[in-house]
Every structure is written in structure tokens, then in C-alpha cells.
Amino acid sequence: MGRRVIHRRGDDAVEPVEVTEMASPDGPPLGGVGPTGGPAPSGETRRRGRPRSDRRSRPTPALADSYRSVPVHGGWWRKAFAFAGPGYLVAVGYMDPGNWATDLAGGSRFGYALLSVILVSNLLAVLLQALAARLGIATGRDLAQSCRDHYSRRTGILLWIGAELAIAACDLAEVIGSAIALNLLFHIPLAVGVVITSLDVLIVLYLQEHGYRRLEILVIVLIASIALAFLFELVISRPDLGAVARGFIPTVAIVRDPMMLYIAISILGATVMPHNLYLHSSIVQTRKYEESASGKREAMGFAVLDSTIALTLALFVNAAILIVAAATFYNSGHRDVAEIQDAYKLLTPLLGVGGASVVFALALLASGQNSTLTGTLAGQIVMEGFINIRLRPWLRRLLTRGLAVVPAAIVAILYGESGTARLLVFSQVILSLQLSFAVVPLVQFTSNRQIMGEFVNPGWLRALGWVAAALIAGLNGWLIILLLAPSR
């Protein structure tokens, strides 16, 4: 994207007018868009007979009420503190109830073997979230807006539908996880718990009206609660540290065993979530950094630092869940524990420590509520970015929340309190299958100089991005082949 000045002749003088030029991913810069957002005076590019200039002007940010609302100033430490926050909102999705279900299933059935999958998934997450932050800061557009800009309308609609399916699958896990926690702690029926959990949209509205920073602080406090809870669970479960270390080394059995691969793919889908890429590329723009080249470069550095630290904490939580499951259930012969309710009932008797089950349930409640908060934001970003809908903030959030929660409520009512583990794991597989449709555009856009300008991915980062995209697509393809192959 570039800027140039043209001169428009008025009645008495020549008036300078600044025109924005948007970069095309596969050609020269597109024609400019005038200061009022109208069509450019010349150079307009058409695709499939439709003018593109109306889709190239700088859009209204998805979270307009929070856009550039957090000031950034002072020395290095003050700026780093100002940028701390978006990474933790992203990290919430990496420790939601869907992760709990997959990690519990993996640890109870296969011991520590799938720790390597959690590690690789987390490294992929660090890479992809860094690319999402770079895209948002360099272009001023989130991933959904970029897809709408650079793809045909038909492709954009298909990507939007896929993103909504991914958010619905994610919300399914989050809402059901919170409802299970309410049921375990207070004996609230699952269907009622779903309704209670869905009211988080009111919390988001309240906190955003009173400052976006308050929403981030709430999320960070809940994450800290989850981490402390599992530090307690880790200490009392006394895992075999040697076996834990060996678990971080990948084995061929993961791709040969269909069931192990199925859970591994669900861990990947639960860890690297497609909606988090849309979310991160938008919420980094809540920081009021300098929009010069040096200011953007500094902002990218702080944003990547923030997300890397937050995702390292998420790695600890995910690994801790699987380690606790392996040390408590796998080693005691309870290798069919996959339901969160079963884990809750068995933790205190097997570990012999009072309160272990209650701490587990409280952490689950914090995890589920935290995830639904950020899921609400992601739904708004995806809807506004892809289809450019313009509604009042409260109506937008109710609409996007309804699209995701209604399917979750229906499924929860139909399933009741049994069989939720299979449903949660399956929802994470759906997320993984949708992941490529967010990763490929992200790597494509951030590797294109005409879109990113001087902030384009360097060669090594471009290569890593495409390797990550190929790995995700390859594992998903292999899983489909194994599932469709006739049983021997």
C-alpha cells in the first residue's frame, strides 16, 4: 500500500488531495481510493468484470470501539507492558475445554507419547500467530478483511462459511466445557449451564464499554488461575520425569496408529485454532503505535514477544493436563478415561489428596469462560471482515454469538451428560480440518511484497510458513485416508 498526492483543480486554486494506493497480490498497485472512499480517478483494476476499488479502501476496523485505544509510550519496558495482552487473548484458545478433552484422551490412553504433538503444535502456533500479528500491523487489515480484498466474492464467502463452522466447533467445546464445570461444582443441569455460559457476551459488552484493557486483565487473571491449578495437580500427581522427557520426542507410531493419529490431529486442531489467526491480526491494532515504518517494526517485535510468552504458558498448561492424565490414569490402568466428568471423579481417590477434583473443576470453569469471551470477539471479527456487515455493537455480538452458541446448545441438549468427550474431540478434528483454509491465505499474504511492502516475510520465514501449511494439510489428508480406508 502506498500514498501519492494528486492535484484537483477547484474554482480558484489547485487543491492537493492524498490518495491511497492498495497493492494487488499478483500485479501492479491498484488505482487509488479518494479521501471520501469513492472510486479512484484512474488505474482501477477489475476482476471478473467487477470494480475492485470499492473493496480496497481502508475498512472500518472490526473492533472499532477498541481500535488504537491502548496508548504506547515510554521506554522499552513500558512499551512491552503496553503491548502485553493480545497474546493472552489468543493463548486462551490454546487451553480451552477442547484442549482438555484431547489431552485427557491422549494421556489416559497413550501415556506421555503425545507430548511431542503438543510441543510441535505449540511451535506451529508461535510461528502462525507471529505471522498474523505482522499482517495486522503492516497492512492495517485483519486476515478476514485481507481475504475479502484479495479473493473473489465466491471464494470469500466459502472461506467465511468455513471460518464460522470452525468458530461453532470451538464454541461447542467451550460452552460444553463450562457447562460441565458448572454441573460438577454446583449440580446445574448441562442445558442450563450452556445458557448461563452463553451470557458471556454481556461481560464482553460491559468491559469493552469501560475500556478494552479491563477485558485483557480479566483474561490474564483467569489464565493465571488455570496455570496455578495445574501446577498444583502436577506436583501431587508425581509424574515420571524421565518418561515425560522421552514423551517430547516424536515417534513413528503416531502416524501409523489411526487412533493415535486421530487424537494427535485433534490436539493439533485444539492447539492451532483457525479463528485465533483472525483474532490476533485484528486485536494487535488496539495498540496506538506509531504508523511509521520504524513504529510498525517496533510494534511487530513487541507483539511477537507478547504472543510467544503467552503461548509458552499455554504449552505448560496443555502439557500439564496430558502429564496429569498419564501419571494418574494411564499408570493406574484407567486407560479408558476420556470424559471430563470421569476425570473429576477419579482424581481425588487416585491421588489421595483432598480438593484435587475441585481444583480441576474450577480450572475447567475458568478455561471455558475465558475461551467464550475471546470466541465472541473472534466471531465479530470474522463476520465483519468477510461480509463487511455494519450493525450496532450489541446487535453484532448477539448475532455472532447466536450463530456459534445455538448449535452448541442443541448438541448439548441432545447428548446430555454422556458422550461429551467424543463430541469434544471430534470438534477439535473439525477445527484442524478447517485450519488450512486460514493458514494458506495468511502465509500467502505475508509472503507477498505488494501487500506487505518492506515487512514482507524474509526467505527463511516464508519457507517455514509454507512448511507449516504443508505439514498441517498433509496430516489432515493422511487422517482422512486412514479413516476412509477399509478396516483390516
Tens of pLDDT, residues 36-59: 333 333 333 334 434 343 344 556
CA distance 275 to 403: 14
pLDDT at position 351 is 79
CA distance 133 to 59: 18
Q: Is 415 exposed, middle or buried (0-12, 13-18, 19+ CB in 10 A)?
A: middle
Q: Where are the beta strands (DSSP E) in 298-426?
A: none
Q: Where are the beta strands (DSSP E) in 43-119?
A: 46-47, 50-51, 70-71
pLDDT at position 46 is 36
Which domains does the chain show, CATH number per domain? 1-58 (no CATH), 65-484 (1.20.1740.10)
Cβ-Cβ contacts under 8 Å for 313 (sequence gap 6 or more): 91, 223, 227
Block means of pLDDT (10 residues each) for the chain, 488 residues, are 43 41 40 37 37 49 82 92 92 80 87 93 93 95 94 93 84 80 87 77 69 84 90 90 93 86 79 86 93 94 96 92 91 77 80 81 85 80 83 68 68 65 71 87 96 95 94 80 62
C-alpha torsion 424→443→277→58, nearest 10: -150
Q: Is the Cβ–Cβ distance between 137 and 292 less than 8 Å?
A: no
The gap from C-alpha 350 to its chain's centroid, in whole angstroms, comes to: 34
H-state helical runs in 200-292: 200-209, 212-237, 241-247, 253-256, 258-271, 274-283
pLDDT at position 289 is 93
pTM: 0.81
